[in-house]
Amino acid sequence: MKKLLIALLLLTYSAHADDGYRLWLKYDLIKDAARRDTYARSAQFIAVSGNNPILTTAAGELQAGLQGLVGKAIPIITNAGNRTGGIILSVSTAPNADGQALNNEGYRISNRQNNIFIAGKTEAGVLYGVFALLRQLQTQQPITSLNLTSNPKVQYRLLNHWDNVNGTIERGYAGSSLWKWYELPERLDPRYRDYARANASIGINGTVVNNVNASPRFMTGEYLQKVAALANVFRPYGIRVYLSVYFPAPRTVGGLKTADPLDPEVRAWWANKVKEIYSVIPDFGGFLVKANSEGEPGPQDYGRNHADGANMLAEALAPYDGVVMWRSFVYKADPKGDRFKAAYEEFKPLDGQFNKKVLVQVKNGPIDFQVREPFHPLFGAMPQTPLVMEFQLTQEYLGFATHMVYEAPLFKETLESDTYANGKGSTVAKVVDGSLHGYQITGMAGVANTGSDRNWTGHTMGQANWYAFGRLAWDHTLSSEVIANEWVQMTLTNEPKAVKTITDLMLRSREVYASYTNPLGVHHIMGYGIHYGPEPWLDKAPRPDWRHTYYHRADSVGIGFDRTATGSNALSQYTPEVQKQWSTMETCPLPYLLWFHHVPWTKQLRTGRTLWDEFVTRYYTGADSVRWMQQQWAQVKPAVDPEIFEDVAGRLAVQQKEAIWWRDACVLYFQQFARRPIPAPFKKPERTLEEVKRLVDIYQMR
Ligand code: BDP
């Protein structure tokens, strides 16, 4: 009878189409009965004492997860007594048996006296431990000889939502905002809780709910009530809310004459506002600020600098446990300047002048989330200012929710770059986790790729980028492969061959995308405004640094932006060791070549081809590789849910078509400058440049 029931359950699960809503928290019944029984023997009860909301969440999550995975209802009890064969959750400050200390949110999972112990120094640590144990089961690892201690390497692990009051999302490609402001605070969409669960399961502990191009409304009492309602849902999952700030709010909301950060009335206004915020959100996390950037107002409008603005907010937060994350993404419209250099020039002189509650949030690269960027020169250059790493999960420059790009390799490439700030081994990761300069506070932020689409991220594979960000913010030493492997097993399939095929596909996807869009470090040549598809020919825009010819600088001699001493000398913002790697065409790694050099079309590269031939070869092989991706995906059909399989296959087909669009556009456009043939064995595009150009207009509905 029991067997029949299980078989029925299995059938229901496998026949049920998967819409992707459950993300990596699927908890479907483990198919192998023997494995299921082994797990069940170690999980006969869950013991937890007290009624702390986070511990209650932890126990509930564990119970629900186990119920799905092993198909049994597991009781939650308050005291294990002498019982064995269960899982005991506890907050404990005792050091680990192997001497490894836990930090505030760390956890330890161990087996003792036939029980599994999940301990954390705080309740949140226990919750993270619970998700780690569930991950063991989901990825079919043994759980009888566990000795796992894990501490997050970074303290503030945040998603940044670029969500607007009207429900749109800036650069969002998965539907509209998750937050239904018009229903809040009265109605709480059940999805808010599911959002919190997903984040907690990967260690994310904070969320900035509104766009950095912030609406002043978020500083009104009405909106604070709405935000407070969200905070109440997130709190039991260890997640704090943060708000993006509209800098002149004291004027627009407060009715003051100025928003000058040194004005006493303005300072008093902020102090009161912060007090009001904490009265409704007692664990409010703090502020994120985009100021004097892309038209957003800021302290410079009053003759003050970024530190003046940030410090004012930090002082308002002084009585509370909140911080300021002040963004370094600033650049002025200077036709003679190099946008690359702007943030460093603005912020480097301010090192040491920020209040201790301020973190400066820096994008991974100096321009703007391009397919590939050298690491931002501020990393390593601000020893007295904690720097938050800002990655972009939403695929603004990576093909929206249509192209498959697994971003962990991109994140890792930046994190593992060596700044040489304190000699060899001074990686960006060590800057960010505070170990290099001894930062007291540390953070990592990911611009969210979530939206109201049923599967959260539009492209199912985009879920992996959310997942990878959380895992890396927790532990940047994890490899892209390990993370992909986990995600595939938890989300798509446990069938070993399929796991391997999909993992390989993911690991190669970013290089493939780079090849057919931005090979050899050419950058910022995408569709104007929308940032989709190719538009390298764009030479008219309100600002010089919004024109694409500004970035690629193609002419009859060559292509690329000379940022060495003979050009803009942006390279001088890096340490001498880094400069040395990148300063000559001979030593510069090919993926960064056109970031730093204007290279002659005829230049012989170490691949044995001329620059032109190499450039074209990459476009062609990149586009061909999308066919390979399609073939790989086709192979996993039997192992993946049919609905998800079809969805991804469909998106790959679009990607394939668009890879050829990118290839044809770029090859034909740059050929006008290079005046060289398409090298064999590649065939020249079937359409003309004029024909390809028209596609962008159609796409953008111009
Ligand atoms: C750019 C986006 C723009 C954002 C800006 C930012 O195109 O929509 O507002 O970054 O990060 O990538 O502030």
Residue of 372, 378, 368 whose CA lies nearest to 346 = 378
Pocket test for ligand 1, best of 161, 169, 213, 371 (most atoms within 8 A of CB): 213
Contacts of 454 (CB under 8 A, 6+ apart): 19, 20, 21
pLDDT of residue 13: 46
Q: How many CB atoms lie within 10 A of CB 586?
A: 9
Tell me which of 367 and 702 has the higher pLDDT. Answer: 367
Confidence (pTM): 0.97
Instruction: Grade residue 92 by pLDDT with cuts at 50, 70 and 90.
Output: confident
Given the residues 194, 368, 475, 624, the one annotated as active site: 368
Mean pLDDT within 566-588 = 98
Q: Where in the chain is the domain with CATH 3.20.20.80?
A: 156-491
Largest CA distance in the chain: 82
How far the first Cα of the chain sits from its last, in Å, is: 64
294 is catalytic: yes
- Calculate the CA 506 to chain-centre distance: 16
Q: What is the pLDDT of residues 162-221, one digit of tens each?
A: 999 999 999 999 999 999 999 999 999 999 999 999 999 999 999 999 999 999 999 999
pLDDT of 321 higher than 90: yes
368 catalytically annotated: yes
Q: What mean pLDDT comes out for the span 109-113?
A: 94
pLDDT in the model for residue 15:
46
- According to the model, what pLDDT value does residue 97 have? 63
What is the pLDDT confidence band of residue 12, given thresholds at 50, 70 and 90?
Answer: very low
**Does the CB atom of residue 373 touch ligand 1 within 6 A?**
no
Q: Where are the alpha helices (DSSP H) in 145-189?
A: none
Structure tokens at 684: 């020249």
Ligand 1 atom closest to the Cα of residue 211 is 9
For 81: left if phi > 0, alpha if psi spans -120 to 50, otherwise beta; the answer is: left
Mean pLDDT for the chain overall: 96
CATH of domain 2-150: 3.30.379.10
Hey, what are 401's tokens?
């929710």
- Please state, in angstroms and as integers, the Cα–Cα distance from residue 329 to each residue in 174, 369, 377, 478, following that order: 25, 11, 12, 28
Antiparallel, parallel or unpaired: β 286-289 and 323-327: parallel
Average pLDDT over residues 387-409: 98
In the chain, CATH 3.90.1330.10 covers 515-561+598-699
Q: Tens of pLDDT along 252-276?
A: 999 999 999 999 999 999 999 999 9
In this predicted structure, what is the pLDDT of residue 698?
79
Task: Give the C-alpha separation, 125 to 109, whole Å.
Answer: 11
Catalytic residue, chosen from 294, 334, 416, 555, is 294
**What is the distance between the alpha carbons of residues 540 and 542, in angstroms, rounded to a whole number?**
7
Residue 576, amino acid: P
160, 164, 171, 211: residue to mutate for ligand 1 pocket, most atoms within 8 A of CB: 171
Residue to probe by mutation, ligand 1, list 363, 368, 449, most atoms within 8 Å of CB = 368
Where are the domain boundaries for CATH 3.30.379.10 in the chain? Answer: 2-150
Higher pLDDT among residues 331 and 1, named by residue: 331
Angle at 669 between CA 667 and CA 673, to 5 degrees: 100
Residue 536 confidence (pLDDT) above 60: yes
- pLDDT at residue 337 is higher than 90: no
Q: Closest Cα to residue 420, out of 596, 563, 576, 572?
A: 576
Residue 70 CA to ligand 1 center (angstroms) comes to 45
pLDDT digits (tens, 9 = 90+) for 189-199: 999 999 999 99
From the list 308, 346, 390, 396, the catalytic residue is 396
Span 231-246, average pLDDT: 98
Residue 411 near residue 403 (C-beta atoms within 8 A): no
Q: How many CB atoms lie within 10 A of CB 660?
A: 20
Three-state SS at 564: coil
Taking only the tens place, the pLDDT of each residue in 490-535 is: 999 999 999 999 999 999 999 999 999 999 999 999 999 999 999 9
Angle between helices 190-201 and 221-234 (to 10 degrees): 60
Interval between CA 211 and ligand 1 midpoint (Å)? 10
Is the pLDDT at 288 greater than 60? The verdict is: yes
Query: In this predicted model, what pLDDT tens digit does every residue of 644-685 receive, in sequence order?
Result: 999 999 999 999 999 999 999 999 999 999 999 999 999 999
686 catalytic per annotation: no
Q: Check pocket membership of 110 for ligand 1, CB cut-off 6 A.
A: no
Distance CA 71, CA 4 (A): 13
59-68 tens-digit pLDDT: 999 999 999 9
Of the CA atoms within 13 Å of residue 634, those in its CB half-sphere come to 7
The one-character DSSP state at 212 is S
Q: What is the DSSP string of 283-303?
A: T--EEEE--SBTTB--GGGGT
CATH 3.40.50.920 fits 515-561+598-699, yes or no: no
Q: What is the mean pLDDT of residues 129-141?
A: 97
Say if residue 158's pLDDT is above 70: yes
Instruction: Indicate the pLDDT class of residue 3, thresholds 50, 70 and 90.
Output: low
CATH code 3.20.20.80 for 156-491: yes
